[in-house]
Amino acid sequence: MSPHRENKVVAIAAGGTGGHLFPGIALAQALKRRGVDSHFILGTPRGEDRWLDEYGFEYTRISSTPLFRNLSIRTVNSSVKNIIAVKESLAVIHKLKPDIAVGMGAYTSGPFLISCYLSSVPFVLFEQNLIPGLTNKMLAPLSLHTFVTFEGTKLRANSIHVVGNLIRDDVKPKAKSKALKKLGLKGGRPVLVVIGGSQGAATINRTLIDAFNTGWGKDYSFVIQTGIKDYEYVSSIFREKGIEGICRDFFDDMGAVYGAGDLYIGRSGGGIFEALLANLPLVLIPYPFASGDHQRANAEYLEKKGSAVVIDENDLNAEVFMRTVDALTNDKDRMRKMAENSKGLAKHDASDVAAGIILEEMGVK
C-alpha cells in the first residue's frame, strides 16, 4: 500500500439480503485492488457474517432493523431500535473515522448515513432496483453521487451514474466445460439454474417439487439453490425422483453455477444481474411482497428488453411452470435471442467504474 493511501477507509452500510450485501462486497473488492480498505456496517443479524468472514472484510453491527409502515407495536419497536442505531452509528463513525461512506440501499443505510450527515462525513448511494427504496429516496438529495443499475430509475439526486449492478469477482461466469466439471454435471441436457435468492424462495421450491412429483424433469439437469429452510425436503425429493443435477442450500461458487446454466429461473432481485452476466435467458417470478413491488418492476423491465419471461406468483403452479420452461427450451431460436438480449444489460466493469468515482472524491489516484 502506498504511503498516501494509508489509513484511507470506506464504510459500506449493507446487508439484510444478498441483493444488498453482495454488491457491497463487489465494491469492496474493487477498492481493495486500488489499495483502499472497506469496513462494513451491518444491521440485525441475517447471516451476513459468513460471507464477510469468507471474503476477509471487517464489519460492525448496529441495531438497525427494517421499518414497518403500519401502526403497530412492531412499528414502534423498529423505530426505537433505529433511533438507537443512529446513536451507535455516531460512536462507530467517531472510532472508524471513514473518509467516505457508502449506502447499498438496505435498512442499515438509513441510521448510519443520517449519522454520517450529522458528522459531516460525505456519502454515496447505490440503488440496485428500477424502483428505488424508501431509504435511497430520502437520502439521495444529500448524497455526493447516486449509482443506479437501470437507466429508467428516477431519483432526486445531485449526481446520478448508470453503472449497472456490482458483481463480485468470483461470480463472473466460468467457461461452460469448466463449470459443468466443477459441479459434477455430465452435459448433454439443458441445465436449469433455479435460484430462490440468498434466503431461498419457498413458493418456487414447492412448485418445483410439485412438478417433480408429476414425473417431469427427466429431460433436464438442475442446479437448485433452495435456501436453508427448504433444503432437507427439496433435496430428499430430488434424490427420490432420480433427478439429474445438484441441489444445495447455498452455492459458494456462483461463477460455476451461472457458467453451467442454459436457463435461469428465480426471483428478480439484484441476483438477476449475475445471471445476465452469463447471458442467460430468464424466467422470473417476482417476490410479490418486495418493498415498492420493485421485483415486479425489475422483471417487467427485462421482459420488455426481450431477455425474460415473467410469471406472476398468483398464477404460479406446476402446470404453468412446466409449460413455460418446456416451451422455452424447445424453442432454440427464442432461447438464442433472449441470450443475445441479455448481453450488455449487466456491465462487466460496474464495480471498477463506481470505485473510480468514489476514490476520486477521496483524492486517491
97: Cβ–Cβ under 8 A, 6 or more apart, which residues? Answer: 9
Nearest to 121 by CA among 346, 362, 336: 362
Annotated ligand binding at 295? The verdict is yes
- What is the C-alpha separation between 125 and 295, in angstroms, rounded? 19
Annotated ligand binding at 18? The verdict is yes
- What is the C-alpha separation between 27 and 112, in angstroms, rounded? 18
Start-to-end C-alpha separation, the chain: 13
Instruction: Check: CB of residue 118 under 8 Å from CB of residue 133.
Output: no
296: Cβ–Cβ under 8 A, 6 or more apart, which residues? Answer: 268, 286, 288, 290
Q: Is 290 exposed, middle or buried (0-12, 13-18, 19+ CB in 10 A)?
A: buried
86: Cβ–Cβ under 8 A, 6 or more apart, which residues? Answer: 111, 114, 115
Annotated ligand binding at 207? The verdict is no
State the sign of the Cα–Cα–Cα–Cα dihedral 334, 335, 336, 341: positive
Annotated ligand binding at 63? The verdict is no
80: Cβ–Cβ under 8 A, 6 or more apart, which residues? Answer: none
Q: Is 360 exposed, middle or buried (0-12, 13-18, 19+ CB in 10 A)?
A: exposed
Residue 226 grid cell: 433452495
358: Cβ–Cβ under 8 A, 6 or more apart, which residues? Answer: 10, 27, 31, 100, 102, 124, 145
Residues in the annotated binding site for UDP-N-acetyl-alpha-D-glucosamine: 17-19, 129, 168, 198, 295
Residues in the annotated binding site: 17-19, 129, 168, 198, 295
